[in-house]
């Protein structure tokens, strides 16, 4: 949880924690069935007013979002008779009252909420991410970026706060949506100061936040009323001009593109707004389709599931994975993965040169030591290239078996052509032909 200062509030504690809650609406597709009366906005406000809780609420089409404040012992902040702030009931006790009066419990968040992480890592780097973070996830890579959906909610938060690369966190529950640009060492979710929040690269859409009704409107400028006002401001801060300019700066948008981004931010919260923003920023729009529930990542072409393994095994898997980026190194690795026989040719050439230099070094002379060193380097590199070739061939064979459904390593996919004659000639030339 994040801390909100409360130095000017007459409270037994010096800080309160933000505590979110959700009440599913009767008309929502995800609303559970039950015999109790359906909750309404007025009914929920009566419950909160009964407990005199300091809170904020936002009514969406499927759920009502609530935000409260709790002390270190989990007691929610309430307005005292004199207008000060004091600890009240716990969230569990409030949920029990909701069940009795509305038939609906308080949920920690909307069950329809989906989160997706866009990381600036290509497919070969994802096994290492899983190994180092100890998390499991499903991912698809596009043009050097990866769309990642984690197996567990805690894994999402663990990775987003520990990434050293630029990333974009998307969230949507069908009403409230956000795009958060995560720069190295800066997480928007950790910022609660009302002024510092303007400097965070975050774009938000959603319903309007209002006082929850626990503090009487006629209370005047009491500490509880002021604190509720600050809480509403924190929840409904929206997107400032500085935040728009910050996102535009990170993605090098020109003035016309920045104006388009501003129009998207100031528009309505629709299921296409995230897709439009990602397209403008040059990011894979697949992430928006996934977070809005219009596409499942597991059924997408190129989707892979990654489990945490040893770093060595992760590096080997990464070296045998085809990248999707457009850089020079990515194109080089992609060529090797698609045609591993190129490595065999390079290794053969290095072996021939290494043997030749070794023979020259044995004849002695002033440059014998230099020639011997070069020969050893070439032969060592040739051995590494040969090992890389074997790893690529093994990875290709495993992928072929997965696609064809065969189990034996010696099985061949029907219709697979034999090795071309040029490859056989290369093997004979470098002395690798068998039989």
For residues 391 and 319, the answer to whether their CB atoms sit within 8 Å is yes
Phi, psi (rounded to 5 degrees) for 78: -135, 155
How large is the average pLDDT for residues 239-243?
Answer: 86
Q: Which of 111-120, 209-218, 341-350 has the lowest mean pLDDT?
A: 341-350
User: Strand 145-150 and strand 114-119: pairing?
Assistant: antiparallel
* Angle, helix 421-429 to helix 341-362, in steps of 10 degrees: 20
How large is the average pLDDT for residues 360-371?
Answer: 68
Looking at residue 140, its pLDDT comes to 92
User: Strand 15-24 and strand 3-5: pairing?
Assistant: antiparallel
Q: Which of 63-67, 127-131, 161-165 has the lowest mean pLDDT?
A: 161-165
25-72 pLDDT per residue, tens: 754 444 444 444 445 667 788 888 889 999 998 888 778 889 998 888
How large is the average pLDDT for residues 120-143?
Answer: 88
With a cut of 80, say whether residue 255 has pLDDT above it.
yes
With a cut of 90, say whether residue 197 has pLDDT above it.
no
For 19, residues 6+ apart whose C-beta sits below 8 A from its C-beta are 1, 67, 68, 69, 70, 76, 91
How large is the average pLDDT for residues 152-174?
Answer: 86
For residues 105 and 98, the answer to whether their CB atoms sit within 8 Å is yes
Residue that wins the pLDDT comparison between 292 and 43:
292
Return the C-alpha torsion angle 168, 171, 176, 179, nearest 10.
0
With a cut of 70, say whether residue 371 has pLDDT above it.
no
For residues 261 and 277, the answer to whether their CB atoms sit within 8 Å is yes
Q: Which of 84-88, 105-109, 113-117, 305-309 has the lowest mean pLDDT?
A: 105-109
Q: What pTM value is reported for the model?
A: 0.68
With a cut of 70, say whether residue 152 has pLDDT above it.
yes
How would DSSP label each residue in 135-202?
Answer: --EEEEEETTEEEEEESSHHHHHHHHTT-SS-EEEEEESSS-EEEEEE-TT--GGG---TTGGGGS-E
């Amino acid at each position: 949880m994040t801390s909100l200062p409360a130095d000017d509030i007459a409270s037994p504690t010096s800080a309160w924690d933000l505590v979110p809650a959700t009440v599913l609406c009767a008309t929502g597709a995800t609303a559970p069935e039950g015999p109790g009366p359906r909750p309404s906005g007025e009914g929920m406000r009566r419950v909160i007013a009964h407990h005199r809780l300091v809170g904020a609420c936002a009514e969406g089409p499927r759920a009502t979002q609530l935000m409260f404040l709790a002390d270190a012992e989990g007691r929610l902040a309430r307005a005292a008779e004199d207008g000060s702030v004091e600890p009240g009931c716990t969230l569990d006790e409030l949920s029990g009252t909701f069940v009795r009066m509305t038939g609906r419990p308080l949920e920690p968040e909307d069950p329809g909420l989906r989160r997706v992480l866009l990381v600036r890592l290509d497919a070969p780097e994802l096994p290492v991410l899983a190994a180092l973070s100890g998390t499991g996830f499903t991912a698809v890579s596009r043009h050097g970026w990866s769309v990642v959906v984690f197996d567990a909610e805690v894994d999402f938060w663990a990775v987003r706060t520990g990434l050293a690369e630029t990333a974009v966190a998307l969230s949507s529950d069908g009403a409230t949506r956000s795009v958060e640009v995560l720069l190295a060492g800066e997480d928007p979710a950790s910022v609660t100061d009302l002024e510092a929040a303007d400097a965070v690269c975050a774009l938000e859409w959603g319903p309007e936040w209002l006082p929850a009704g626990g503090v009487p409107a006629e209370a005047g400028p009491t500490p509880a009323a002021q604190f509720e006002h600050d809480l509403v401001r924190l929840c409904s801060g929206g997107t400032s001009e500085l935040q728009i300019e910050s996102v535009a700066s990170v993605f090098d948008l020109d003035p016309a593109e920045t104006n388009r981004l501003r129009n998207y931010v100031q528009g309505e919260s629709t299921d296409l707004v995230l897709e439009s923003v990602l397209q403008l920023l040059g990011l894979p729009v697949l992430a928006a389709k996934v977070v809005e529930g219009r596409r499942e990542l597991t059924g997408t072409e190129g989707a892979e599931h990654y489990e945490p393994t040893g770093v060595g095994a992760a590096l080997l898997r990464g070296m045998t994975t085809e990248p999707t980026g457009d850089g020079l190194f990515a194109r080089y690795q992609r060529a090797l993965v698609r045609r591993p026989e190129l490595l065999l040719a390079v290794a053969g050439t290095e072996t021939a040169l290494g043997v030749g230099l070794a023979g020259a070094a044995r004849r002695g002379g002033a440059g014998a030591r230099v020639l011997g060193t070069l020969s050893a380097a070439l032969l060592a590199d040739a051995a590494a290239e040969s090992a890389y070739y074997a790893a690529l061939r093994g990875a290709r064979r495993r992928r072929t078996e997965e696609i064809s459904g065969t189990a034996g390593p010696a099985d061949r996919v029907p219709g697979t052509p034999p090795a071309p004659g040029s490859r056989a000639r290369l093997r004979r030339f470098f002395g690798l032909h068998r039989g």
